[in-house]
Chain A
Amino acid sequence: MRRMPLALWIGLVLLAGLALVLVWPLFGDLPHPQQGVLLQMEGKRLVAPPYRPGQLGYPLGSDLVGRDYLSRLVYGARMTLGIALSINLIRFAGAVPLGLWAGWRRGWAAAVVQAAATGFGSIPALVLVFITLRGLRPLLPGDNAWLIGYVLVLGLAGMPRIAEQVRRRTQEIALMPHVESAQAVGAGTLRILRRHILPVMRGDLLVMVPSEMAWVLMIMAQLALFGVFVGGWVQVETITENIYIVEYIPEWGQMLGANRQFLLQYSWLAIYPGLALGITAAAFHLLAEGLRVRGLRR
C-alpha cells in the first residue's frame, strides 16, 4: 500500500476534530450560546464580564455580557461552515457546468470564460470582495438581505477562476481517445460531458473543493477583520441603564471582527475565533495539498 502523504493525515485528523465540534451540541452538555449573566460572585467578590478563560467555570472565558465563549465557538462552527459551504456550493454549481460547456464548445465560449477569469483575477480577491460588499451594504438593509448578498458576492467572485480551471481540464480530456470514441458512436454532448469527461475530472475536483473551502474561510476571516461579516447586533440593557452592544449570531467571522478592538485588553475574544478560522482553513488546505500530492504520486 502506498504511504499516505503527511499533509493528508494532518488535514484528516484536524477535520475529524472539526466534525466532533459540529456534533458536540448533540451529545455534550453545553450552555445555551445566548445565555449570559452580568454580575457573579467569585468568593466574596462581585465580578463582571468578560470572564477570563478558566474563571468561574468558563473554560474559554466569556464575552462582554457573560455568554460562554466555548459554547459560542462550538455553535459558531455550524454557522461558519454552513456559510462557507453555501458559498462553495454557488461557486461550483455555476462554475462546473459553465467550464464544461466552454471547454467543449471552445471558440467564443472559451474566450469569454478565459476573459472573465483573467479580469476577475487581475484584482486582488480581497480588494474586489471588500469594495463590492462595502458598496452594496447600504443597498441591502436587514440581516437576511445582507446575508444573501454576502454569500452571493463571495460565491460569484470565485466562480470565473474555477470555471477557467474546469474549462482547461475539459479541453485536455476532450482530446482523449475514449471521448473521440464516444463521439464516433454518436453520443450527445450532454452524455459525453456527464459520462466521459466529468468522471475523469473527479480527481481534480476532489482537490479543488477543499482548496476552495480554505480560501473562502480565509477571505471570510480577512473580511471580518475589516468589519465585514454576517449576523446582526444586539443591545443588552441593564436595569441601571447600562447598555452593551454585542454580536448576536455565534459566527466565527463576526466574533473575530466585532472583538478585534479588544485584542490587547481581552485577547481571548479575538484570538479564539481567529484561531478557529485559521486552523479550519489550514485543515482544508492540508487536505487539498495531501490529495494533490497523492494524485501526483499515482
Chain B
Amino acid sequence: MRVLLQLWLSRLLMMLTAGLLVVALAWLPAGIEWIEDLTPEENVPASVRVEPMQPFTVRADPGSAEQVRVHWSWRQYGQTVTGYIGELAAGEVLLRTHEWRGSDYVEVTQPLLPLLRERMLVSLELLGVALGVGAAVGILVGALILRRGLVQAISVGVSVVGLALPEFVIIIMMHMLTTFSYRSFGVRLYSVLGPAAGERGWLPPLVALSLGPMAYTARLVATALDELMHEEYIRTARAKGVPEVQVVMKHALRSALARVLGGVPTMVNITLSSLLVVEVLTNIHGLGAWLMQSYDSAVIATTGLVFCLWFGLVDGLANTLRIVVNPRLKEGS
C-alpha cells in the first residue's frame, strides 16, 4: 500500500511540474510588450525580380533580412500567467476570438472548457481504440516470433516496419493508394476526408495510429518470450507434457505481459505525439488538432495540460498494475 501511495504522490508531483512547464512555455508570447521594426523601408527581405522565360537564380541578400527588436516584460508575463492559473482554478477559462459584427470587429468570449470536453471525447475514442487494437494485435504478432520460417519473418518484418515508418508517411501512402484505386478501378477504399465523410474515413487514422503501439508491443513481447522460453519453469511444463500452445499462453505470455506493462508509458508517449499528427492530417477535430492549429495561448496551455494529465494517469495506472501483478515490487524491494 505504501508503495502505491508513493507511486501516486510522485506521479502527482510529476504532473504538476509538467503542467507548470507547459503553462509557462505556452504563455511566452504574452510577455511581449511590443516589437520594434528596424528594417529600412526600401528593404524587401530576400526578394528577386525575374523575367518570364529567363532562368534566374534566387539568392538571399544577407543584409536584407528583417530586423526587429522585441521588448519583453516579465511583469506583463507574470500577470497573464497568474491570471490564467486563477481562471483555470475557478474553471472559467475563456476563449477570446474576434469576429466582424456589421462594420465592427469585436472580441467574442466563450467558455473554453465545454469546447475542450467535446474535442477530448473525440480524441479519447480514437486513442483508446488505437491503443487497444495496437496492443492486442501486437501481442499476437509478438507471440508469432516463436514459430519458425515465414511466420517468424512476417512477425519480425511487421514489428520493424511498424516502428520505423512515421505515421505521416503511412497516411500519405494510404491517401495515394485510395486515390490510385479510385482513378484506376473506380473503387474508393476509404475516404481521405476523415471521419467527416462517414465510417470509412476512420480507417486511415486508426491504421496510422495503431501501427506504432502494435509494433512496440510486438517487440516487447518477442524480446520477453525469447528470454522466457529458456527458463526452468517452461522446461518443467514441457517435461510434464503440457501442450506447447498452453505453455506459451498460460506460462510464458503471462510473464511477458508484466514486462509489456513496463513499456506502456513509452508507448503512450509515442502514441500521444502521433495523435497530434494523425488528427491534423486526417481531418479529425480532436484535442491534438486544436492544440496544433490554434493561435490562442489559453487553448494551447489547456490542451497541453490535458495531455500531461492523460500521460500521468496512464503511467500511474500501468505502474500500479505492474506492482499488483509482481509481488516483489509490492513489497518495495
Partner-B contacts on A (CB < 8 A): 6-7, 32, 34-40, 65, 67, 118-119, 121-128, 130-132, 134-139, 141-143, 214, 218-219, 221-222, 225-226, 232-240, 246, 248, 263, 267, 270-271, 274-275, 277-279, 281-282, 285-286, 289, 296
Contact of B300 among A7, A134, A296 (CB under 8 A): A134
What's the minimum C-beta distance from A74 to chain B, rounded to whole angstroms? 17
Q: B160: CB under 8 A from chain A? A: yes
Q: How large is the interface on B (under 10, 10 to 19, 20 to 34, 35 or more residues)?
A: 35 or more
For the complex with contacts A34-B57, A124-B276, A135-B27, 7 further pairs of A-B residues with Cβ separation under 8 Å are A38-B56, A139-B32, A142-B67, A233-B46, A234-B60, A237-B49, A282-B166
Given contacts A122-B315, A232-B60, contact A225 B53 (CB under 8 A): no
Bound state CA distance, A274 and B167, in angstroms?
11
- With A36-B56, A39-B53, A135-B25 known as contacts, the answer to whether A222 contacts B65 (CB < 8 A) is no
Nearest chain-B residue to A239 (Cβ)?
A: B51
- With contacts A131-B25, A235-B48 taken as known, whether A271 is within 8 angstroms of B68 at the C-beta atoms is no
Contact A123 B265 (CB under 8 A): no
Which stretch, B15-23, B83-91, B113-121, B197-205, touches the partner chain A? B15-23
Q: Are the C-beta atoms of A125 and B163 separated by less than 8 Å?
A: no
Contact with A along B60-97 (1 / 0, CB 8 A): 10000111111010000000000000000000000000
Inter-subunit contact A285/B164 (CB<8 Å): yes
- CB–CB B72/A139 < 8 A: yes
* Interface: B318 (CB within 8 A): no
Partner of A38, one of B53, B57, B153, B308: B53
Separation in Å of the B68 CB from the closest CB of chain A?
A: 4
Q: Which of B104-112, B168-176, B324-332 has 4 or more CB atoms under 8 Å from chain A?
A: B168-176
Alpha-carbon gap, A121 to B21, bound state (A): 12
Contact residues of B between 122 and 136, Cβ < 8 Å to A: none
Question: B residues near A, CB below 8 A?
Answer: 10, 14-15, 17-18, 21-22, 25-29, 32, 35, 44-60, 65-70, 72, 153, 156-157, 160-161, 163-166, 168-169, 172, 175-176, 223, 226, 265, 269, 272-273, 276-277, 280-281, 291-293, 300, 304, 307-308, 311-312, 315
- Cβ A271 vs Cβ B172 within 8 A: yes
Which residues of B have CB within 8 Å of A263? 172, 175
**Interface centre among A124, A127, A222, A239, by most B CB within 10 Å?**
A127
Q: Bound complex: CA of A39 vs CA of B272, how far in Å?
A: 45
A122 (CB) vs chain B CBs: closest residue: B18
Which of B28, B55, B153 has a CB less than 8 Å from the CB of A35?
A: B55
10 A-B pairs whose Cβ atoms sit less than 8 Å apart in the complex:
A34-B59, A36-B58, A38-B52, A122-B18, A123-B22, A128-B21, A232-B46, A235-B44, A236-B58, A248-B60
Tell me, in angstroms, the Cα distance from A279 to B217 when the chains sit together. 22
In the complex, the answer to whether B311 meets A124 with C-beta atoms within 8 Å is: yes
Bound: A38/B10 CA distance, A:
61
Contact of B172 among A235, A238, A240, A274 (CB under 8 A): A274
Specify which chain B residues have a CB less than 8 angstroms from the CB of A289 in the assembled complex: 160, 163-164
Is A119 in contact with B21, judged by CB distance below 8 angstroms? yes
- Which residue of the partner chain A has the closest CB to B26? A131
Question: Can you name the residue of chain A whose Cβ is closest to the Cβ of B295?
Answer: A134
Max count, chain A CB within 10 A of own CB: residue among B18, B35, B273, B315: B273
B27 (CB) vs chain A CBs: closest residue: A135
Q: Distance (Å) between the CB of B33 and the closest chain A CB?
A: 11
In the complex, the answer to whether A67 meets B58 with C-beta atoms within 8 Å is yes
Chain A residues positioned under 8 Å from B66 (CB to CB): 141-142
User: Which of B29, B45, B55, B308 is A123 in contact with, Cβ under 8 Å?
Assistant: B308
- In the bound complex, residues from chain B placing their C-beta under 8 Å from that of A221 are 166, 168
Contact A274 B169 (CB under 8 A): yes
| Most chain B beta-carbon contacts within 10 A, residue among A37, A65, A121, A218 | A218
Q: With a CB–CB cut-off of 8 A, which chain A residues contact B272?
A: 124, 127
Question: Are B53 and A123 touching (Cβ within 8 A)?
Answer: no
A278 is contacted by which of B59, B67, B165, B311 (Cβ under 8 Å)? B165
B276 & A234 in contact (Cβ 8 Å cutoff)? no
Cβ contact within 8 Å between B32 and A138: yes
Chain A residues with Cβ under 8 A from B46's Cβ? Answer: 232-235, 248
Q: Whole-angstrom distance between the alpha carbons of A260 and B307 in the complex?
A: 26
Quote the shortest CB–CB distance from B329 to chain A (angstroms).
17
Identify the closest chain B residue to A270 (Cβ).
B172
CB distance from A82 to the nearest CB of B (A): 18
Q: Are the CB atoms of B176 and A286 closer together than 8 Å?
A: no
